[in-house]
Amino acid sequence: MRWGLFPRLAVSLGLLLGAAMLTLGYVLLSDSAKRLEAERLNVASTLVRTLATGNIDALAAEDFELMERSVYSVLPDKNYAYAFLSRPDGKILTHSEISQIGQYTDTGHTELTSPHSHTTQFGGRSVRELVHPIIVGNKLLANAHIAYYLNQDNLFSTDMAVRILGLLGLFLLLLLTATSLIIRRYTHPLTHLTESITDMSLDAVHLKKLDTALLQRTDEIGALSREYSNMLERLGLAYEELRNEEQLLREKVEERTRELRLSYQELETFSYSVSHDLRSPLRAMAGYGQMLLEDYGESLDEDGRHALQRICANAIRMDQLILDLLALSRVSRQEFKHSRVDLSDMAHEIFNELQKQHPERKVEIEIDDTPLVDGDKGLLRIAMQNLIDNAWKYSGKTEKAVFHFGAVASEPGSFFIRDNGSGFDMRYVDKIFGVFQRLHAQDVFEGTGIGLATVERVIHRHGGIIRGESEIGKGATFTFSLPLAKG
């Protein structure tokens, strides 16, 4: 769950204020502890001074009972550890702990001339002991001792600690409440504006209006709301224009579709006409010409027979040209059917057919195993047939033709067909895929100049590219790319 702006700000400021209050409490407690320690030291100094001055007469009269009462009476509460009087040599004359009477102090025979204090241990706890010398004239009669515990637990009573913590907690609660109210005052309009933006849809952009209270604010939120409202108006106008343009575009597309459908029907009609009406006279010309050669060829001289033979050959070539053009047009119009195609199997079939048609040729054929491709099997058959026919034709004058079909290892999805035929000049490589473009004379290599154009159109329909590389007299290599089959 994603928190909104208000809870995030409230939690962040709450944590910040909590940390600040804890720090303030620690500082106050530390300062109070220092002050109380100083006050206790001051009280203890007064008590030890009182103990010293109050026992001068008792020391002079060696009144131990009076000294004992004085020692017991000087201890105000349980925070004080002990009090006693000792001779200059350190022997304890009287002590609040009876077992210590007659013992010697840790300071030994040290003679003091002024009050001092030090830290020591008593009963396993740390105490601060104050010593005040009792001097009459220039003579040291004794030393007065009083000690209080340094344990911090006793500095504050439980009630005092509870009161301090309660006040701090109450102050923190008031701060959090005030902060929450302030944050809500300024985040609520932002939340409302956010909800308006979230609920906005393009269909209702011209109907949706912001709350008037937001628009009338004079702060940054009001400025943002007014700017957003203006943006909504501009967006509404732009959306209306876009819908109008969309409608016009849809009408144009429908009109173009009708025109294309009509053009397609006309092209189908033209193709039928070309296939039947134009080819019929050509077939008749070729047939009657052949009949003349067979029936009246001996009546003609050499020039006549040669002319008649050329008429028949050109009629047949024209018929083949029409067939290739029809095939080229069908490549662009044929419905595309996706399937998994094995180009290596297809290459085996085409080469086997060519070897059966031309058993006299000496050839070496190498076909690698290639990955399956995703494409239209019928169209790919047309492309492979034209590429292999092209290689077979232009290696026809080679004593031993070598063909190689495989995949390009460094380019996944790329394939090649290579031959060692006549090749072509790379200066004209841009022309070889054009319709009717031929780089060799008709009497050297037959053809219509449409085969490679058909191949390029098939490869482009599959989203691939094709390129040719060659060197005159050393053959040619055609490389093309196709999408690989998945799985």
On whether residue 177 sits in a domain, the answer given is no
Q: What is the pLDDT of residue 444?
A: 42
* 28 in the same domain as 124: yes
* 340 in the same domain as 255: no
On whether residue 174 sits in a domain, the answer given is no
On whether residue 182 sits in a domain, the answer given is no
Query: Residue written as tokens 């105490």?
Result: 127
* 254 in the same domain as 147: no
What residue numbers bound the domain in which 282 lies? 200-333
pLDDT at 124 over 80: yes
d(CA 384, CA 346): 8
On whether residue 186 sits in a domain, the answer given is no
More confident residue, 121 or 206: 121
Indicate the residue among 105, 137, 159 that finishes a domain.
159
d(CA 147, CA 121): 10
pLDDT at 276 over 80: no
Residues 348-358: what's their mean pLDDT?
Answer: 91
* 218 in the same domain as 315: yes
d(CA 376, CA 336): 6
Between β-strands 363-367 and 476-481, what pairing exists: parallel, antiparallel or unpaired? Answer: unpaired
Residues 365-381: what's their mean pLDDT?
Answer: 91
**The domain spanning residue 117 has which CATH number?**
3.30.450.20
* 222 in the same domain as 154: no
Q: What is the pLDDT of residue 144?
A: 92
C-beta of residue 132 within 8 angstroms of C-beta of residue 144: yes
Indicate the residue among 333, 353, 375 that finishes a domain.
333
On whether residue 18 sits in a domain, the answer given is yes
190-213 tens-digit pLDDT: 666 666 666 655 555 555 566 676
Indicate the residue among 333, 365, 393 that finishes a domain.
333
d(CA 377, CA 347): 13
* 287 in the same domain as 208: yes
On whether residue 314 sits in a domain, the answer given is yes
**The domain spanning residue 358 has which CATH number?**
3.30.565.10
Q: What is the pLDDT of residue 229?
A: 75
Phi, psi angles (nearest 5°) of residue 97: -105, 110
On whether residue 167 sits in a domain, the answer given is no
C-beta of residue 407 within 8 angstroms of C-beta of residue 415: yes
* 150 in the same domain as 22: yes
Sign of CA dihedral 277, 282, 283, 289: positive
* 470 in the same domain as 352: yes
On whether residue 33 sits in a domain, the answer given is yes
d(CA 44, CA 383): 112
| Structure confidence at residue 26 as a pLDDT band (50, 70, 90) | confident
* 381 in the same domain as 314: no
More confident residue, 14 or 357: 357
71-86 tens-digit pLDDT: 888 888 888 889 999 8
Phi, psi angles (nearest 5°) of residue 38: -65, -40
Comparing CA positions, the residue from 402, 307, 289 lying closest to residue 351 is 402
User: What is the number of structural domains in the chain?
Assistant: 3
* 329 in the same domain as 367: no
Of 3-7, 215-219, 228-232, 339-343, highest mean pLDDT: 339-343
* 354 in the same domain as 289: no
* 114 in the same domain as 30: yes
